[in-house]
Structure 1
Amino acid sequence: MTEFTVRHNPERERFEVLVAGNAIGKAAYKKYDGGGAPQRIFYHTVINEEYGGQGLAGKLATFALDDTVAAGLGIVPVCPYIKKFLTKHPEYAGSKVAITPAHLQFLEDALAARAAKA
């Protein structure tokens, strides 16, 4: 198995898997506080194809969700991988927040604003 590191990169609003200092995977989120309690909307998780099959996505998700819970934030699982991961890991059920239209609109607006800057 490849030696890797997982870290939180808050400036880029994502958790990253690093191999030899290079990001080879990420779990991207947007911070959201419109629901009364602060939350992270996870919207995209990916591991580079050549590193697939090593369990890195699961390790990334565990790190990201543990950090989110420790920070007292709710988990909004828009990302299909995180959504599926949560069904297999009931220990996060108390922090899971149901997706609402407000979450989806916020995410759409945030991603559109980021794309417009690029």
Structure 2
Amino acid sequence: MNQNSKQDINITHNTQAQRFETTVNDHTGFISYQQRGDTLVYDHTIVPQELGGRGIGSALVKHALDYARENDKKVVPQCSFVATYIDKNPEYKDLV
């Protein structure tokens, strides 16, 4: 079984901490946000070095952007990782 499989990423919405997070092998990666009315400001994407290179950061950003779309929110990509992801995936530009 491949431990690096992207399908194994289980992302949860921690509303109290205002972030989407996933824990793999006791390491937690997350994308945090601030809510301003109907806008979500995605300010930090944190993936521990131990989880790097597995697509976890991209999975977190995709999940966060899909959440914004499903909830009719606009997005401010304050985090450069989020901004770069949107540049590479133009289907999300309408959220900005």
1:73 is matched with which residue? Answer: 73
Structure 2 gaps, min length 5:
none
| SS of equivalent residue, structure 2 residue 16 | helix
More helix by share: 1
Larger CA Rg, structure 1 vs 2: 1
Task: Give the aligned CA root-mean-square deviation in angstroms.
Answer: 1.4
Matches within 5 A, 1:84-95: 84-95=84-95
Structure 1 gaps, min length 5:
97-118
Is the contact made by 2:41 and 2:76 (CA closer than 8 Å) also made in structure 1? yes
Normalised by the size of structure 1, how large is the TM-score? 0.72
Is the contact made by 1:15 and 1:27 (CA closer than 8 Å) also made in structure 2? yes
Name which structure has the greater RCO, CA cutoff 8 Å, separation 6+: 2
1:75-99 CA distance string (max 9 Å, x none): 1000010011110011111111xxx
2:9 is matched with which residue? Answer: 4
1:47 correspondence with 2:47: yes
User: How big is the shift at 1:23?
Assistant: 5.5
Equivalent residues, number: 91
In 2: Cα distance, 1:23 partner to 1:63 partner: 18
Task: Select the residue among 23, 41, 63 that pairs with 1:18.
Answer: 23
Whichever residue aligns with residue 17 of structure 2, its letter is: R
Give the % identical residues.
Answer: 27
Question: After the TM superposition, which parts of structure 1 deviate over 2 Å for at least 4 consecutive aligned residues?
Answer: none
Whichever residue aligns with residue 56 of structure 1, its letter is: I
Q: How has the CA–CA distance of structure 1 residues 23 and 67 changed in structure 2, closer, same or farther, with 3 Å as cutoff? A: farther
